[in-house]
A and B are shown apart, each in its own frame.
Chain A
């Protein structure tokens, strides 16, 4: 997932916890990476146009991604792969070519509406010309799954942090910093935190500044007054999706979006940092 994963298990067997979480993330990476041509996701996208039998893992992530798209009227969109390729993000960020020319590719937003899921037979049908890309929601779900696994393995207290998307469980309170707001600590006892922003994964494409947060309404890197949005939710998958959507909505519309869903958010613009509390 192109990121570092940290695990904290106070008083527990840290090496065993690390091994459990490492194996889980490796399994998820192999199934869901768009950068591995032999991943299950790549094979699914290669077979677009017909039903494909998939693993329970891929089916569950696809199901969650489509549910998130429906719940946000398509602002969260797992079918932006052509747009990411068009703006130059067609390989891992570390491998991006500086200032590459823009390829001529179609816009991909909205393709999720045609994705069909069969939960009984574990089939996924991706329409021809559409490709799935799970990005942040897969990372958030992996954090949730890692915490669940640790709990089942006897680690009642744990923190799992995947590149800044993190979740906690157990009786203690975990002070969580927010990189974009130095000095702030979120005293998280239960739940998850995720941050979305445009400050990282930036590059130039033929002289045009680009970043990885694509707005499905335009197919272009989002134009938003927010520099970053941090969201606290029950699960990391909810926090990840909500942070992404908050970024796309901008500071004014993000407030009611978060509040109406019972989420706590920290919104950062160039000149202001504000806290949104649940209604």
Chain B
């Protein structure tokens, strides 16, 4: 099935809003939920990088971020991530 870029972005936007809502709820202890990644090619290929085998912990706590609620996912951005 093919889809336009606009359709892909809209699905991504909705998915991100759902992730944000789940994360927001989890932050306040209301829901323990983690959605799985969708789309094709999600896990068939082995990672070419091993899980921090040195134990130096560079990525330790890398999941310690949080999203806000879904209502904040529209409107003028406060910042823009881009290739620099």
> In the assembled complex, how far is the CB of residue A197 from the closest CB belonging to chain B, in whole angstroms?
4
Q: A175-B72, A179-B83, A257-B47 are in contact. Are A71 and B13 (CB under 8 A)?
A: no
**CB atoms of A253 and B75 under 8 A apart:** no
Q: Give chain A's interface residue range (CB within 8 Å of chain B).
A: 35 or more
* A230-277 at interface with B (beta carbon < 8 Å): 230, 232-235, 238, 241-242, 245, 249, 251-253, 255-257, 259-264, 266, 272-277
Q: How far is the CA of A198 from the CA of B58 in the complex (A)?
A: 25
Main secondary structure of the interface of A (DSSP, over half): mixed
Known A-B contacts A68-B58, A71-B54, A195-B82; A251 and B41 likewise in contact (beta carbons under 8 Å): yes
Chain B residue, CB-CB nearest to A175? B77
Closest to B20 in A: A187
Partner of B49, one of A72, A232, A277: A72
Cβ contacts under 8 Å, B58 to chain A: 64, 67-68, 70-71, 238, 241
B74 touches A175 (CB 8 A): yes
A276 & B12 in contact (Cβ 8 Å cutoff): no
Known interface pairs A183-B13, A184-B13. Does A252 touch B45 (Cβ–Cβ under 8 Å)? yes
Q: Is B32 an interface residue (CB 8 A)?
A: no
Report the nearest B residue to A276, measured CB to CB: B37
A164 touches B84 (CB 8 A): yes
In the bound complex, CA of A68 to CA of B68 (Å): 29
Check: A188 CB closer than 8 A to any chain B CB: yes
